[in-house]
Amino acid sequence: MIQTRMTKQRAVILDALRHVTSHPTADEVYSMVRNKLPHISLGTVYRNLEYLSSSGTIRRLERAGQQMRFDGNMAPHQHIRCQGCGMVGDIFPPVELPACTKPNAPGFDVLSVDIEFVGVCHACQEKRQ
């Protein structure tokens, strides 16, 4: 990617993500930034989220079957996802596998581990009672 220009749209999107801990979806980012940029398009939001995440400025949380979510916090941490509503919370500090862990993965070169927790948020717990 050759994109380098800090346009108004990109700056506002990045700023919005950094001032929030809610791990918003693309359309949530879209409505967040429309307060400041009423004419921004959803396509632009997607293009910037794609650029920012693949350049390592933000994190993309991707789970198939659900929407992608984005995180402006680059400090090392993990996530927990609510089984009921999909809401994502932060786990800090991150938990680690024992240092000596070597997964048995024939046919692959292991690059990294991805640890995510599954839980129920308080709002969804109340709904269940």
Partner DNA sequence: ATGCCTGCAAAGCCTTTGCATCTGC
Partner DNA sequence: GCAGATGCAAAGGCTTTGCAGGCAT
Provide the binding-site residues for DNA, judged by CB under 7 A. Answer: 1-10, 25-27, 37, 39-44, 46-48, 50-51, 64-65, 67-68
Question: Between residues 51 and 89, which has the closer beta carbon with respect to a second copy?
Answer: 89
Q: Which of a second copy, DNA, none does residue 80 bind (CB under 5 to 8 Å by kind)?
A: a second copy
Residue 18, burial from CB neighbour count under 10 angstroms (0-12, 13-18, 19+) = middle
Residue 120 CB, shortest distance to DNA, in Å, is 20
3-state SS class at 5: coil
3-state SS class at 95: coil
d(CA 101, CA 83) in angstroms, rounded, equals 28
Residue 37 CB, shortest distance to a second copy, in Å, is 25
Residue 17 CB, shortest distance to a second copy, in Å, is 17
**How many CB atoms neighbour CB 75 within 10 A?**
9
Question: Between residues 37 and 120, which has the closer beta carbon with respect to a second copy?
Answer: 120
Residue 59 CB, shortest distance to a second copy, in Å, is 12
- Is-contact 40 30, C-beta < 8 A? yes
Q: Catalog residues that contact a second copy under the rule CB under 8 A.
A: 60-69, 78, 80, 82-83, 89, 91-93, 95-98, 101, 103-122, 125
Closest CA to 72 of 5, 1, 12: 12
